[in-house]
A and B are shown apart, each in its own frame.
Chain A
Amino acid sequence: GAVVSQHPSWVICKSGTSVKIECRSLDFQATTMFWYRQFPKQSLMLMATSNEGSKATYEQGVEKDKFLINHASLTLSTLTVTSAHPEDSSFYICSAREGRGDEQYFGPGTRLTVT
């Protein structure tokens, strides 16, 4: 149980284009989903927290107009990187939490390369 999927697993896009990443909880309802960014040899940095049906809460320094997050259902959250630049190249990982539990279940990550 508690499986989270992400799609795509990797993507290459050109500078200036937008990319959408999907995060799905497959066997539970995720009241809260989290989006992290991880640069090589670094830790996971929380970008934003999203609750189903409400606007995402962004961490300081994360541009909400650049990283659009939608949590339209209890099983799906999307992250859209708009007008991507090479410095946005990173490993993006989502996680999901069921109800009021403390544990977060992580997706397999999406490697984004912007050329």
Chain B
Amino acid sequence: GENVEQHPSTLSVQEGDSAVIKCTYSDSASNYFPWYKQELGKRPQLIIDIRSNVGEKKDQRIAVTLNKTAKHFSLHITETQPEDSAVYFCAALYYGQNFVFGPGTRLSVLP
């Protein structure tokens, strides 16, 4: 089955700096890769996603890049703000049906 790895598990950055989180997946059939932000005790919120026919997607301060050959994708957050502090999960859509989630990255943005 699909396996998604995510690094780093924790990340601390100074406010205004950039943050990068990387994920790798194992099944080349996966073709949709969303990123979720989850605050404590709340539902995951979709922040950006990318499909396998696109290499990069950007939405204001957030961008995602995908390397299909290497089977990895990354989340980039620029000009980080304290409200970006949360746990971020990547996921891969497995056989068009199920999401397989990465283990998560706890991002702390220090003022």
Contacts and interface: CB of A to CB of B under 8 A. Distances in A.
Interface of A: 32, 34, 42-46, 49, 91, 93, 102-104, 106-109, 111
Given A102-B93, A109-B41, A43 B103 contact: yes
B98 A49 contact: yes
A44 B89 contact: yes
Interface string B97-109: 1111111100000
Given A43-B101, A44-B101, A103 B49 contact: yes
B98 A93 contact: no
Contacts of A108: 42-43
A107 B97 CA distance: 18
A103 B34 contact: yes
Contacts of B96: 102
A93 B45 CA distance: 12
Nearest to B96: A102
A106 B43 contact: yes
A43 to B, nearest CB: 5
Contact of A109 (B42, B89, B98): B42
B110 interface: no
Interface in B25-56: 32, 34, 41-46, 49, 51
B96 to A, nearest CB: 7
Nearest to A9: B41
A75 to B, nearest CB: 18
A69 B93 CA distance: 22
